Structure 1
Amino acid sequence: MAATLVLQFQGVNWDKLKWVLQNDGDPHTGATEVSAWGFRQETRKYQPLDGNIRLRGLNIGRQKDGSVLVNSLQIFNVNGLDEASRSRARAQAQKEAPRVARFLRENIPGFEEAVLVGTAPELYVRETRHIIGEYRLNVNDVLDNRDFPDRIAIASYPVDIQSISPADTGFVIGNPLKYSIPFRCLVPKKVENLLVVGRSASYTPLAAGSARVVPIGMVTGQAAGAAAAYSLKHDLTFRELAYSQEHINNLQDILMEQGLDLKPFVIENSWEQHWAYPYVKKLRPLGLVVTGYSNELDLNKIIIDRSFLNLLYEGINRTVPGERPDREELLNLVTDEPLDKHKALAMLVMARGFPSYYRLYSVEELFEIVAKREFLSTQLQERLRKVEILDLGHAYAIIAETVEKLEQQNPAAAATRSAFPFLPQ
């Protein structure tokens, strides 16, 4: 994901800025006494000096000295593990900063008298390596608002996947109410006497879209410090501590005495009883279920054929890229109308290698092929027979079972796919 260079300004009229964002009618913008977010449309007009840089919607923090920090200047193609790459990127961004300041003064309410007074000493790098810990937090843990017995932090940030190039705008996979971070995520599987906190802890990349943020790094750091002191006092390894609920309870008590809120919680998921929800959980790690800030799955909503084709194609491509179907052939079936089972089965059969003329086969003939080749489970086939027009739940089910079959048939390819399978390789 893009790195950013944080810019510091003096002279911002915070009251004016806040009023504009609170009254612009956009539910995705806003401001408080200490933070503000918005102006996405305005910043799209910015023309950078460097093609590797972009100004995104403003993310602004107000400091006690009256200055503001703006975390919106994106730099692409930065290798966060390489010092020379980071230095080059920071120099590019610093060269760009005066131009950004001029643009903000001319285009953003409240910045008319703003003066650029500094830049951060380091880039904000969102993603490099993660340890593999005793537990690896995943995107379903995050979006199912899961609690863990060994919780040492509570998190709630959206699963925010930032842009990877100037050509895309990033996206929000979902927006958890809250979930907990297990102590086991800090304990490396193969290294003793070490705890890893912050964005390098044991999170999958999509889970890290939420858990990577600074407040969670601060709280996991506090927990690690307390755990280190506790382990020395009780002559425990971190692994022994992680798997003793008695000692974990004692550690939680210490952290709560220090001010953390670590009470157990249960958050009901209204979609969990839906027949298609297990398929949602299968597809989330592939980045195929994107609900944005609303978290609304809409599993009963009718899906159009083009949307189904895009999901089917990406499901195959992100699982086993070498097996991806001929998209142009499949597009011949698209009419941008509600998806019926005949078209869905024809797309599935063609995507699994059958020639394009199979789109002329009847529904029963397509069902026979699906059954004979075991493309779908018997249970799903029976469910599809009972409907004519398919909803999003049916679409997710077909694609999830297709992905699962391909993983079983191509275990090596599936095991080595990118950690971000939805990004260009």
Structure 2
Amino acid sequence: MKAGPLSTLNKQIAVHVSALTATKTADGLIDPKLVLAWLMSTIGAPGFLIGLLVPIREAGSLLPQLLLARSVQRATRRKYWWVAGSAVQGLAAFGIAAAALMLTGSTAAWIILACLATLAVARSACSVSYKDVLARTIEQGQRGRVSGLAGTVSAIAVFGFAILLATGLLPREPRFVAGAVAVAGGLWIFAAAVFFLLDEKPNGEDAEANDALAGMLRPLREDAELRTYIATRGLLISTALAPPFMVMLGNARNAEFGNLGLLILASSVAAIVSSYLWGALSDRSSRQTMMLAGMLAALTLAAAALTAYFSASSVAGLAVASFVFFAQIAYQGARGGRKTHLTDMDTHDRKAIYTAVSNSVVGLLLLAGGALGLLADWAGPETVLALLAFMSLLSTVFAFGLSEVQRDKD
């Protein structure tokens, strides 16, 4: 007996949710801002190498996409790019864990950075192919919920990890944290195996896949919606850049890992309570989702900056955790809104190209965001947060100019 359309759709959704849950959980277990930074510091890595973790991870996962998009566009089944990318991320995570367990100092640090760079490039292959696969295998109106549900489940898993760290039930020793990184590697391998089962119908080769690089950039000149979307998303990177400067408000540079566990808890709870709701709202209006996320980020970051300006000493740990909580809710909204908007907007069957172009531009902006650390050293983290709050507010203005792509397709 053949499966009906509903059961087929449910199977597709189950594959997406299972694979995304595994990869999102892996992301939490290997978080460069917290987990890898702490791991490298405990094995004696130099500070300047620790400082390279986030730029390598973020820019490395975005900048290669413009080059990869041409090959993805040629593929008749684009899920294989995602499968390969997830598998390579798993192998790279195993390499990071092995280096932390077997080596120390600069040698371990360089190997970890090389593995992280490999992981980031593999992640870019997943990113540039996923929205296209999602659009081909899940009906509009269900896509935001897929990401939202996976985000909620994975956040619960990371929440459990944070509890173990904060309470000391998981010993705060390099070998145990390296073990968590190895678990992340296993989750990426599992996700690759699950995603391989996805039923993606083959498509013919896209003639535009053979365009030169200049041709791939043509949408920036021709599509006003894409330009407005990139401007909005570029300003919303404020939600991703803010957390480290919030940590600086509490003078947490010398805090023990258990205190950082409190911040992981705040981040995890924010994702748990907001991911699915943001996903559902994105299915109704990704434009309004980005506007609300930008406004929430602006209010939260402005409050954090003002608190620091009027505080005689460092901001209390619970206050910092509260700011991280609301900032992470805004981040989840910005992330869910911009992903669903790009998936649902009319890309003239060039979704991989649009994804790569937007991600490459944002990758350059993230690299430029590295200069904010110098500003924080000169003027204080509160000044950086005030600037990021202004960026968040400005994002709502640009998001207002976006189309209601969900209503346009009803």
Name the structure where strand makes up a greater proportion of residues. Answer: 1
Fold shared by both chains (TM-score > 0.5): no
> Which TM-score band (shorter chain)?
under 0.3
Higher relative contact order (CA 8 A, sep 6+): 2
Which of the two has higher C-alpha Rg?
1
* Alignment TM-score, normalising by the size of structure 1: 0.25
Name the structure where helix makes up a greater proportion of residues. Answer: 2
* Alignment TM-score, normalising by the size of structure 2: 0.25
